[in-house]
Amino acid sequence: MSLTFRWQSPSNIALVKYWGKRDPQLPSNPSISFTLDACHTQTHAIFEPGQGIQVLLNGEDAPNFVPKISQFIERIGHRHAWLGDYSLKVDTVNSFPHSSGIASSASGLSALALCVVDAALALGAPLQESDARREASILSRLGSGSASRSVYGGLVVWGATHSVPGSHDEYAVPYPHAVHPMFRTFRDVVMLVDVGQKAVSSTAGHALMERHPFAQQRFNQAHQHLSDLQSILRDGDLMPFLDLVESEALTLHGLMMSSQPSYILMRPNTLHIIEAIRAHRLSTGMPIGFTLDAGANVHVLFPAEVEQKAMDFVKQILAPFTKNGRYIVDQVGTGPVPLTDQAKPK
Protein backbone atom coordinates (compact mmCIF):
# COMPACT_ATOMS: atom_id res chain seq x y z
CA MET A 1 0.00 0.00 0.00
CA SER A 2 1.32 3.45 -0.93
CA LEU A 3 0.87 6.22 1.68
CA THR A 4 1.03 9.87 0.64
CA PHE A 5 0.98 12.91 2.92
CA ARG A 6 1.63 16.63 2.47
CA TRP A 7 2.42 19.24 5.10
CA GLN A 8 3.52 22.84 5.13
CA SER A 9 5.66 23.61 8.16
CA PRO A 10 7.33 26.87 9.17
CA SER A 11 10.78 27.86 10.30
CA ASN A 12 11.21 29.48 13.72
CA ILE A 13 13.48 32.02 15.36
CA ALA A 14 14.64 31.48 18.93
CA LEU A 15 14.37 34.32 21.46
CA VAL A 16 16.09 32.34 24.23
CA LYS A 17 18.59 30.14 22.43
CA TYR A 18 19.16 26.40 22.54
CA TRP A 19 22.93 26.06 22.57
CA GLY A 20 24.41 22.82 23.88
CA LYS A 21 22.92 19.31 23.92
CA ARG A 22 23.40 15.74 25.10
CA ASP A 23 22.35 12.38 23.69
CA PRO A 24 19.75 11.70 22.31
CA GLN A 25 19.28 15.27 21.10
CA LEU A 26 18.26 16.61 24.51
CA PRO A 27 18.88 20.30 25.15
CA SER A 28 21.28 21.57 27.81
CA ASN A 29 18.93 24.48 28.46
CA PRO A 30 15.36 25.56 27.71
CA SER A 31 14.59 27.72 24.68
CA ILE A 32 11.62 29.71 23.37
CA SER A 33 10.92 30.78 19.81
CA PHE A 34 8.55 32.62 17.56
CA THR A 35 7.19 30.35 14.86
CA LEU A 36 7.50 32.13 11.52
CA ASP A 37 5.03 32.36 8.69
CA ALA A 38 6.50 33.25 5.29
CA CYS A 39 9.60 31.06 5.75
CA HIS A 40 8.22 27.56 5.42
CA THR A 41 8.69 24.23 3.68
CA GLN A 42 6.06 22.23 1.83
CA THR A 43 6.76 18.52 1.85
CA HIS A 44 5.07 15.70 0.01
CA ALA A 45 6.12 12.32 1.42
CA ILE A 46 5.33 9.03 -0.31
CA PHE A 47 5.89 5.78 1.61
CA GLU A 48 5.78 2.55 -0.40
CA PRO A 49 6.61 -1.03 0.57
CA GLY A 50 10.30 -1.51 -0.22
CA GLN A 51 13.60 0.16 0.53
CA GLY A 52 15.46 3.34 -0.39
CA ILE A 53 15.20 7.10 -0.07
CA GLN A 54 14.78 9.66 -2.81
CA VAL A 55 14.73 13.43 -2.27
CA LEU A 56 13.47 16.07 -4.68
CA LEU A 57 14.15 19.72 -3.80
CA ASN A 58 12.14 22.29 -5.73
CA GLY A 59 11.28 19.59 -8.27
CA GLU A 60 14.86 18.48 -8.88
CA ASP A 61 16.65 15.36 -7.76
CA ALA A 62 18.72 16.29 -4.68
CA PRO A 63 20.90 13.27 -3.81
CA ASN A 64 23.05 15.36 -1.44
CA PHE A 65 20.06 15.60 0.95
CA VAL A 66 19.66 11.80 1.12
CA PRO A 67 22.25 11.28 3.94
CA LYS A 68 20.47 13.85 6.17
CA ILE A 69 17.07 12.19 5.58
CA SER A 70 18.55 8.68 6.05
CA GLN A 71 20.06 9.78 9.35
CA PHE A 72 16.69 11.17 10.41
CA ILE A 73 14.86 7.95 9.49
CA GLU A 74 17.50 5.93 11.35
CA ARG A 75 17.20 8.11 14.47
CA ILE A 76 13.41 7.76 14.62
CA GLY A 77 13.40 4.03 13.72
CA HIS A 78 13.11 2.91 17.34
CA ARG A 79 9.73 4.70 17.60
CA HIS A 80 8.53 3.76 14.12
CA ALA A 81 9.77 0.28 13.26
CA TRP A 82 7.35 0.15 10.30
CA LEU A 83 9.63 2.58 8.44
CA GLY A 84 12.06 -0.33 7.92
CA ASP A 85 9.56 -1.90 5.48
CA TYR A 86 8.95 1.24 3.43
CA SER A 87 10.80 3.25 0.82
CA LEU A 88 10.46 7.02 1.10
CA LYS A 89 10.21 9.66 -1.57
CA VAL A 90 10.37 13.22 -0.25
CA ASP A 91 9.37 16.01 -2.59
CA THR A 92 10.07 19.31 -0.88
CA VAL A 93 9.81 23.01 -1.74
CA ASN A 94 11.11 25.86 0.43
CA SER A 95 9.40 29.26 0.29
CA PHE A 96 12.75 30.94 0.89
CA PRO A 97 15.71 30.64 -1.48
CA HIS A 98 17.98 27.68 -0.71
CA SER A 99 21.02 29.96 -0.88
CA SER A 100 19.54 32.54 1.52
CA GLY A 101 21.40 31.32 4.56
CA ILE A 102 18.05 30.58 6.26
CA ALA A 103 18.30 27.09 7.73
CA SER A 104 15.71 24.80 6.19
CA SER A 105 16.22 22.05 8.78
CA ALA A 106 13.56 23.28 11.24
CA SER A 107 10.85 23.67 8.61
CA GLY A 108 11.97 20.73 6.45
CA LEU A 109 12.37 18.15 9.20
CA SER A 110 9.19 19.18 11.03
CA ALA A 111 7.22 18.90 7.76
CA LEU A 112 8.62 15.42 7.19
CA ALA A 113 7.99 14.42 10.83
CA LEU A 114 4.33 15.47 10.47
CA CYS A 115 4.07 13.26 7.35
CA VAL A 116 5.65 10.31 9.23
CA VAL A 117 3.14 10.69 12.07
CA ASP A 118 0.23 10.77 9.61
CA ALA A 119 1.56 7.62 7.98
CA ALA A 120 1.86 5.94 11.38
CA LEU A 121 -1.76 6.93 12.14
CA ALA A 122 -2.88 5.52 8.78
CA LEU A 123 -1.13 2.27 9.69
CA GLY A 124 -3.09 2.14 12.95
CA ALA A 125 -0.75 3.72 15.53
CA PRO A 126 -2.78 4.42 18.69
CA LEU A 127 -2.29 8.22 18.86
CA GLN A 128 -4.86 10.87 19.78
CA GLU A 129 -4.65 14.17 17.88
CA SER A 130 -2.74 16.03 20.63
CA ASP A 131 -0.42 13.03 21.10
CA ALA A 132 0.16 13.08 17.33
CA ARG A 133 1.48 16.65 17.44
CA ARG A 134 3.66 15.80 20.42
CA GLU A 135 4.99 12.77 18.56
CA ALA A 136 5.78 15.03 15.57
CA SER A 137 7.72 17.32 17.93
CA ILE A 138 9.69 14.38 19.35
CA LEU A 139 10.55 13.12 15.86
CA SER A 140 11.46 16.62 14.66
CA ARG A 141 13.77 17.05 17.68
CA LEU A 142 15.56 13.81 16.81
CA GLY A 143 16.22 15.31 13.36
CA SER A 144 17.25 18.80 14.52
CA GLY A 145 16.68 20.24 17.99
CA SER A 146 15.19 23.54 16.90
CA ALA A 147 12.77 21.71 14.56
CA SER A 148 10.89 20.42 17.64
CA ARG A 149 9.49 23.95 18.13
CA SER A 150 8.16 24.31 14.55
CA VAL A 151 5.17 22.00 15.05
CA TYR A 152 3.20 24.70 16.91
CA GLY A 153 2.37 28.31 16.10
CA GLY A 154 3.15 31.44 18.11
CA LEU A 155 5.51 31.20 21.06
CA VAL A 156 6.89 27.71 21.67
CA VAL A 157 9.10 26.34 24.47
CA TRP A 158 11.42 23.35 24.25
CA GLY A 159 13.33 22.09 27.28
CA ALA A 160 12.19 21.50 30.85
CA THR A 161 12.20 24.60 33.04
CA HIS A 162 10.44 25.33 36.33
CA SER A 163 8.69 28.51 35.17
CA VAL A 164 6.92 26.77 32.25
CA PRO A 165 4.51 24.02 33.39
CA GLY A 166 4.49 21.07 31.00
CA SER A 167 7.85 21.97 29.45
CA HIS A 168 9.92 18.94 28.53
CA ASP A 169 13.34 18.03 27.14
CA GLU A 170 11.90 15.52 24.65
CA TYR A 171 9.37 17.76 22.94
CA ALA A 172 8.22 21.35 22.59
CA VAL A 173 5.00 22.80 24.00
CA PRO A 174 3.01 25.92 23.12
CA TYR A 175 3.89 28.68 25.61
CA PRO A 176 1.22 28.19 28.29
CA HIS A 177 1.20 31.59 30.03
CA ALA A 178 -0.70 34.77 29.12
CA VAL A 179 0.77 36.63 26.15
CA HIS A 180 0.07 40.23 25.13
CA PRO A 181 -1.70 40.17 21.72
CA MET A 182 1.08 42.30 20.24
CA PHE A 183 3.38 39.26 20.27
CA ARG A 184 1.01 37.25 18.07
CA THR A 185 1.77 39.46 15.08
CA PHE A 186 5.35 40.50 15.84
CA ARG A 187 7.41 41.17 12.71
CA ASP A 188 10.74 39.59 11.84
CA VAL A 189 12.64 40.98 8.85
CA VAL A 190 15.65 38.82 8.03
CA MET A 191 18.55 40.88 6.69
CA LEU A 192 20.61 38.57 4.46
CA VAL A 193 24.17 39.59 5.26
CA ASP A 194 25.95 36.42 4.22
CA VAL A 195 24.25 33.76 2.16
CA GLY A 196 27.04 31.19 1.94
CA GLN A 197 27.65 27.96 3.81
CA LYS A 198 28.39 28.52 7.51
CA ALA A 199 32.05 28.03 8.52
CA VAL A 200 31.01 26.04 11.63
CA SER A 201 27.72 24.11 11.72
CA SER A 202 25.27 24.43 14.62
CA THR A 203 25.86 20.77 15.42
CA ALA A 204 29.60 21.42 15.81
CA GLY A 205 28.82 24.56 17.86
CA HIS A 206 26.60 22.59 20.26
CA ALA A 207 29.42 20.07 20.75
CA LEU A 208 31.82 22.86 21.77
CA MET A 209 29.52 23.66 24.72
CA GLU A 210 30.49 20.34 26.33
CA ARG A 211 33.82 21.68 27.53
CA HIS A 212 32.93 25.36 27.49
CA PRO A 213 34.25 27.26 30.54
CA PHE A 214 31.02 29.29 30.88
CA ALA A 215 28.57 26.45 30.11
CA GLN A 216 26.89 26.08 33.50
CA GLN A 217 26.43 29.84 33.96
CA ARG A 218 24.91 30.05 30.52
CA PHE A 219 22.48 27.21 31.13
CA ASN A 220 21.38 28.85 34.41
CA GLN A 221 20.91 32.16 32.58
CA ALA A 222 18.59 30.56 30.01
CA HIS A 223 16.30 29.27 32.80
CA GLN A 224 16.33 32.74 34.36
CA HIS A 225 15.50 34.37 31.02
CA LEU A 226 12.51 32.07 30.49
CA SER A 227 11.28 33.06 33.93
CA ASP A 228 11.92 36.79 33.32
CA LEU A 229 9.94 36.60 30.09
CA GLN A 230 6.75 35.61 31.90
CA SER A 231 5.75 39.13 32.98
CA ILE A 232 7.39 40.78 29.95
CA LEU A 233 5.27 38.70 27.54
CA ARG A 234 2.11 39.09 29.62
CA ASP A 235 2.37 42.87 29.96
CA GLY A 236 3.85 43.63 26.53
CA ASP A 237 6.94 45.26 28.03
CA LEU A 238 8.62 46.02 24.74
CA MET A 239 11.93 47.56 25.76
CA PRO A 240 12.75 44.88 28.38
CA PHE A 241 11.69 42.28 25.78
CA LEU A 242 14.12 43.64 23.20
CA ASP A 243 16.91 43.97 25.80
CA LEU A 244 16.52 40.34 26.84
CA VAL A 245 16.31 39.04 23.28
CA GLU A 246 19.35 41.02 22.15
CA SER A 247 21.32 39.85 25.17
CA GLU A 248 20.45 36.25 24.21
CA ALA A 249 21.66 36.79 20.63
CA LEU A 250 24.93 38.38 21.72
CA THR A 251 25.45 35.71 24.39
CA LEU A 252 25.05 33.00 21.72
CA HIS A 253 27.77 34.62 19.62
CA GLY A 254 29.83 35.35 22.73
CA LEU A 255 29.77 31.62 23.49
CA MET A 256 31.06 30.90 20.00
CA MET A 257 33.80 33.47 20.41
CA SER A 258 34.83 31.95 23.75
CA SER A 259 34.65 28.29 22.62
CA GLN A 260 37.78 26.20 22.27
CA PRO A 261 38.56 26.62 19.38
CA SER A 262 36.92 30.02 19.10
CA TYR A 263 35.11 31.19 15.99
CA ILE A 264 33.13 34.16 14.72
CA LEU A 265 30.02 33.88 12.55
CA MET A 266 29.08 37.57 12.57
CA ARG A 267 30.38 39.61 9.64
CA PRO A 268 31.29 43.32 9.69
CA ASN A 269 27.87 44.15 8.22
CA THR A 270 26.17 42.16 10.99
CA LEU A 271 27.66 44.68 13.44
CA HIS A 272 26.81 47.66 11.23
CA ILE A 273 23.16 46.56 11.24
CA ILE A 274 23.12 45.92 15.01
CA GLU A 275 24.62 49.33 15.72
CA ALA A 276 22.20 51.08 13.38
CA ILE A 277 19.24 49.39 15.08
CA ARG A 278 20.43 50.35 18.55
CA ALA A 279 21.18 53.94 17.53
CA HIS A 280 17.75 54.22 15.92
CA ARG A 281 16.00 52.85 19.00
CA LEU A 282 17.91 55.27 21.22
CA SER A 283 17.29 58.36 19.09
CA THR A 284 13.63 57.74 18.17
CA GLY A 285 12.34 55.55 21.00
CA MET A 286 10.96 53.15 18.40
CA PRO A 287 10.62 49.59 19.77
CA ILE A 288 12.87 47.87 17.23
CA GLY A 289 15.50 45.27 18.11
CA PHE A 290 17.32 42.26 16.74
CA THR A 291 18.20 38.66 17.22
CA LEU A 292 20.70 36.40 15.47
CA ASP A 293 20.70 32.71 14.71
CA ALA A 294 23.92 30.77 14.31
CA GLY A 295 25.03 32.84 11.33
CA ALA A 296 25.68 36.35 10.06
CA ASN A 297 22.09 37.32 9.18
CA VAL A 298 20.21 39.72 11.43
CA HIS A 299 16.55 39.21 12.36
CA VAL A 300 15.00 42.65 12.90
CA LEU A 301 12.13 42.47 15.39
CA PHE A 302 9.34 45.02 15.91
CA PRO A 303 5.60 45.08 16.67
CA ALA A 304 3.10 45.45 13.79
CA GLU A 305 2.02 48.88 15.06
CA VAL A 306 5.33 50.48 13.98
CA GLU A 307 5.53 48.54 10.73
CA GLN A 308 5.51 51.42 8.29
CA LYS A 309 8.24 53.45 9.99
CA ALA A 310 10.26 50.35 10.77
CA MET A 311 10.13 49.19 7.13
CA ASP A 312 11.28 52.63 5.93
CA PHE A 313 14.26 52.29 8.26
CA VAL A 314 14.94 48.73 7.07
CA LYS A 315 14.88 49.77 3.41
CA GLN A 316 16.84 53.00 3.70
CA ILE A 317 19.37 52.29 6.43
CA LEU A 318 19.73 48.51 6.88
CA ALA A 319 19.27 47.06 3.38
CA PRO A 320 22.53 48.61 2.02
CA PHE A 321 24.46 46.41 4.49
CA THR A 322 22.99 43.19 3.04
CA LYS A 323 24.08 41.04 0.12
CA ASN A 324 22.52 42.72 -2.93
CA GLY A 325 19.95 44.54 -0.78
CA ARG A 326 18.20 41.27 0.07
CA TYR A 327 15.93 40.71 3.03
CA ILE A 328 12.90 38.54 3.84
CA VAL A 329 9.81 40.05 5.47
CA ASP A 330 8.23 37.64 7.91
CA GLN A 331 6.12 37.60 11.06
CA VAL A 332 4.87 35.29 13.78
CA GLY A 333 2.79 32.50 12.25
CA THR A 334 0.19 30.02 13.35
CA GLY A 335 2.08 26.78 12.73
CA PRO A 336 1.99 23.86 10.31
CA VAL A 337 -0.86 23.25 7.86
CA PRO A 338 -1.81 19.90 6.32
CA LEU A 339 -1.99 20.33 2.56
CA THR A 340 -4.97 18.66 0.95
CA ASP A 341 -7.00 19.56 -2.11
CA GLN A 342 -9.12 21.75 0.18
CA ALA A 343 -6.11 23.58 1.65
CA LYS A 344 -3.90 24.60 -1.22
CA PRO A 345 -0.42 26.02 -0.48
CA LYS A 346 -0.35 29.73 0.31
Chain residues that interact with ligand DP6, rule: CB under 6 A: 14, 17-19, 31, 103, 105, 144-146, 202-203, 206, 252, 293-294
Query: Can you say how many angstroms the Cα of residue 157 is from the centroid of all Cα atoms in its chain?
Result: 11
Residue type present at position 270: T
Minimum CB distance to ligand DP6 smaller for 145 or for 289: 145
What are the C-alpha distances in Å from 182 to residues 157, 186, 285, 286, 321?
Answer: 18, 6, 17, 15, 28
Smallest gap from residue 284 Cβ to ligand DP6 (A): 29
Minimum CB distance to ligand DP6 smaller for 55 or for 172: 172
Minimum CB distance to ligand DP6 smaller for 51 or for 203: 203
- Pairing mode, strands 53-57 and 86-94: parallel
Minimum CB distance to ligand DP6 smaller for 88 or for 256: 256
Minimum CB distance to ligand DP6 smaller for 3 or for 300: 300
What is the rounded CA–CA span in Å between residue 151 and residue 137? 6
Examine residue 213 and say whether the peptide bond preceding it is cis (omega within 30 degrees of 0).
no
Yes or no: say if 107 and 11 are a contact pair by the CB < 8 Å rule: yes
Smallest gap from residue 196 Cβ to ligand DP6 (A): 17
Minimum CB distance to ligand DP6 smaller for 148 or for 322: 148
Yes or no: say if 76 and 147 are a contact pair by the CB < 8 Å rule: no
Smallest gap from residue 232 Cβ to ligand DP6 (A): 18
CA angle 232, 166, 108 (to 5 degrees): 85
Minimum CB distance to ligand DP6 smaller for 33 or for 269: 33
Smallest gap from residue 316 Cβ to ligand DP6 (A): 29
- Which of 36, 85, 33, 94 shows the shortest CA–CA distance to 62? 94
Smallest gap from residue 154 Cβ to ligand DP6 (A): 16
Yes or no: say if 335 and 191 are a contact pair by the CB < 8 Å rule: no
What is the rounded CA–CA span in Å between residue 267 and residue 38? 25
Smallest gap from residue 27 Cβ to ligand DP6 (A): 8
Smallest gap from residue 42 Cβ to ligand DP6 (A): 20
